[in-house]
Amino acid sequence: MSRLNSDLFNYESKYVEENGVLKNRLGITNSKDLEEVERVNTSYRLAKLYLNPGNQTFDIKHYLSIHKYLFEDIYMILQAKYVMKILLR
């Protein structure tokens, strides 16, 4: 996800670094470093979600809440518009 091309999804520059890396809460500007942090963090959160899945409705609200839970520590942009563009690509 960190290698997304801002032109492809029409992201505003406030969400994407000049080098194409998504801006993040950790201040990481290198795509390989960001991918590694994302992989480790989301793997941990996904394992926690697997062990305690909670109420599973599998509607769009449910999928958006999973996305928010997985990425909220890394990325500042979690709006539905952004998520839908990722889901529909």
* Residue 1 in domain: no
* Residue 73 in domain: yes
| Alpha-carbon span 55 to 37, nearest angstrom | 28
DSSP code at position 16:
B
| Alpha-carbon span 75 to 83, nearest angstrom | 12
* Residue 66 in domain: yes
Residue 75: predicted pLDDT: 87
Residue 78: predicted pLDDT: 60
> pLDDT tens-digit profile of 38-71?
999 999 999 999 999 888 898 888 888 888 899 9
Average pLDDT over residues 26-48: 95
User: Worst-scoring range by mean pLDDT, 9-23, 25-39, 54-68, 73-87?
Assistant: 73-87
Residue 15 has pLDDT above 80, yes or no: no
CATH of the domain at 35: 1.10.3290.10
